[in-house]
Amino acid sequence: MWVSLAGAVLCCVVMFVINWWAALMTNVIVLGLFIYVSYKKPDVNWGSSTQALTYHQALTHTLHLSGVEDHIKNFRPQCLVMTGYPNSRPALLDLVHSFTKNVGLMICGHIRTGYRRPNFKELSTDQARYQRWLLKNDTKAFYSPVFAEDMRQGAQYLLQAAGLGRLKPNTLVMGFKNDWRDGDMMNVETYISMIHESFDYQFGAVILRLKEGLDVSHIQGQDDLLSSQEKSSGMKDVIVSIDTSKDSDVDSSKPSSKATSLQNSPAMQKEDEERKATTQPLLKKDKKSPTVPLNVSDQRLLEASQQFQKKQGKGTVDVWWLFDDGGLTLLIPYLLTNKKRWKDCKIRVFIGGKINRIDHDRRAMATLLSKFRIDFSDITVLGDINTKPKKEHVSAFEEMIEPYRLKEDDMEQEAAEKLKDSEPWRITDNELELYRAKTNRQIRLNELLKEHSSTANLIVMSLPLARKGGVSSAMYMAWLEVLSKDLPPILLVRGNHQSVLTFYS
């Protein structure tokens, strides 16, 4: 090997000795061709030795990486995104991809549940298919489906074992469960426990909420739509082609009911949804099928789901930094505004503070942010976070949680304990009293958010925490609901208290 290298070098030397300028020219041309080819990446099967080389490089670099020591400057948000099928929650996929692309790892987690074991040969074909779909859509992400008995187990699989060496996720991203009041409350219990577990495993947690919802998988043929929209961007009359497969009658007859019941429970699809999804025209774009106009809510959902694919224009990303969680709440908007699509957006920072030292706090924050080299347009110190929320909002909250209360004072102790055991998500009167201040704070924050950030392109906000076991799932879910309702796209973020920003350069 070394002999041939020496020979090659000698050849080059002789080449230069004979005719130096011709040799130089040749070298430059060859180099140029090489750069051109590796830059263009033409769609040619280069044969198996190149493929083997790719494998070898991937393995070597990943191994090499596991020998690299951690450094705060090399922190990257490595996201495990609970997308379900990668094409079913486009808004979640696009937004996360915007801040992980070329920066950090992104894994699309998908938990399949059911009592009957699926055929694993089909599963792996499916996996390959969706992985190709991701790459075809220029999404640099891995699709990682698991099959588990229940959601909780499946989340464990992904949180513990996904990734390889240092390429391991450190942030869990989920969609907000818009439909939490409809289905079985045990699903909410599972959902909340996933948040708690992510903290146990030293993950950060991020929750995205669009008021329209996230899950578009019940709308047949949105892939066809996506591709046609790309061509004639900006068209207003959204129509969609319905796949005339065996499922189409079911879907077109009652799409809105499906929309409300299914939308937005992250990756919580059962077997039958899966079978339906497989019949979706995933990669067949040349299909001719009759087109049927969508109903209004689906139209709005579809528009909302594509909002992060467009250029964001001039606007703001509002950061509500209420707790110090290591800095993830600031890092994500910073990474976002570094991207082409978001580069015209300004970062506005909102923090809490005492009313009599607002000016001092603002200056301290401005100094900190410029030390972090984060470009902000405005800092607002809110002195009135802890004032009482409006009466009607408080009573609306109480009305909302009414069905989920245990009301142990109205029944005998034994019956109350029994009910609490069988339905652990119920809110006790004791708890309601204990956390009244925290409840009021969430309601008040929602008022402030509506006042200050109702025109933002994206709100990034600290996720309120609840002690595991101390606060019931229904209570916590209600907090998240009341905090984030009727707002522009909102990202609730909580880092794992690992510092991710530094001002030492």
- x/- contact string, 82-111, with a copy of itself (CB under 8 A)? --------------------x-xx-x----
8 binds a copy of itself (CB under 8 A): no
How many residues does this entry show for the chain? Answer: 505
Smallest distance from a copy of itself to CB 60, Å: 8
For a copy of itself, the closer of residues 62 and 256 by Cβ is 62
Q: Which stretch binds a copy of itself (CB under 8 A): 45-53, 172-180, 182-190, 410-418?
A: 45-53
Show contacts with a copy of itself in window 180-219 (CB under 8 A): 200-202
CA count, 13 A, side-chain hemisphere, 348? 19
Instruction: Give me the helix-helix angle, 391-401 and 436-453, nearest 10°.
Output: 120
Smallest distance from a copy of itself to CB 4, Å: 14
What gap in Å lies between CA 370 and CA 19, rounded to an integer? 56
Task: Kindly tell me which residue out of 114, 131, 211, 485 binds a copy of itself, with binding defined by CB under 8 A.
Answer: 131
What gap in Å lies between CA 92 and CA 491, rounded to an integer? 10
Smallest distance from a copy of itself to CB 161, Å: 4
Task: Name the DSSP letter for residue 417.
Answer: H
Q: Where are the alpha helices (DSSP H) in 318-428?
A: 328-337, 358-371, 391-401, 413-422
467 binds a copy of itself (CB under 8 A): no
Q: Which stretch binds a copy of itself (CB under 8 A): 147-155, 241-249, 391-399, 408-416?
A: 147-155
What gap in Å lies between CA 189 and CA 420, rounded to an integer? 13
What gap in Å lies between CA 160 and CA 151, rounded to an integer? 14
What are the residues facing 427 on neighbouring strands? 405
For a copy of itself, the closer of residues 47 and 290 by Cβ is 47
What gap in Å lies between CA 433 and CA 421, rounded to an integer? 21
Task: Kindly tell me which residue out of 8, 64, 293, 403 binds a copy of itself, with binding defined by CB under 8 A.
Answer: 64
**What amino acid occupies position 339?**
K
Q: Which of 232, 207, 290, 255 is nearest to 459 (CA)?
A: 207
* Residue 135, CA distances (Å) to 128, 184, 256 in order: 11, 36, 31
372 binds a copy of itself (CB under 8 A): no
What gap in Å lies between CA 357 and CA 52, rounded to an integer? 63
For a copy of itself, the closer of residues 80 and 480 by Cβ is 80
Smallest distance from a copy of itself to CB 270, Å: 18
What gap in Å lies between CA 204 and CA 226, rounded to an integer? 31
317 binds a copy of itself (CB under 8 A): no
9 binds a copy of itself (CB under 8 A): yes
434 binds a copy of itself (CB under 8 A): no
Q: Which residue has the tokens 């909420």?
A: 209
Smallest distance from a copy of itself to CB 112, Å: 10
Q: Which two tokens stand for residue 297?
A: 């809510």
Pairing assessment for the beta strands 490-494 and 204-209 based on DSSP bridges: antiparallel
38 binds a copy of itself (CB under 8 A): no
What gap in Å lies between CA 370 and CA 472, rounded to an integer? 40
Task: Kindly tell me which residue out of 8, 59, 355, 434 binds a copy of itself, with binding defined by CB under 8 A.
Answer: 59
Task: Kindly tell me which residue out of 140, 341, 407, 452 binds a copy of itself, with binding defined by CB under 8 A.
Answer: 140
157 binds a copy of itself (CB under 8 A): yes
Task: Kindly tell me which residue out of 13, 250, 396, 411 binds a copy of itself, with binding defined by CB under 8 A.
Answer: 13
Pairing assessment for the beta strands 291-293 and 239-241 based on DSSP bridges: antiparallel
| Residues of the shown chain interacting with a copy of itself in the complex, contacts defined by CB under 8 A | 9, 13, 16, 20-21, 24, 28, 45, 48, 51-52, 54-59, 61-69, 71, 73-74, 76, 102, 104-105, 107, 117, 120-121, 124, 131-132, 135, 140, 142, 144, 146-148, 153, 156-158, 160-167, 200-202
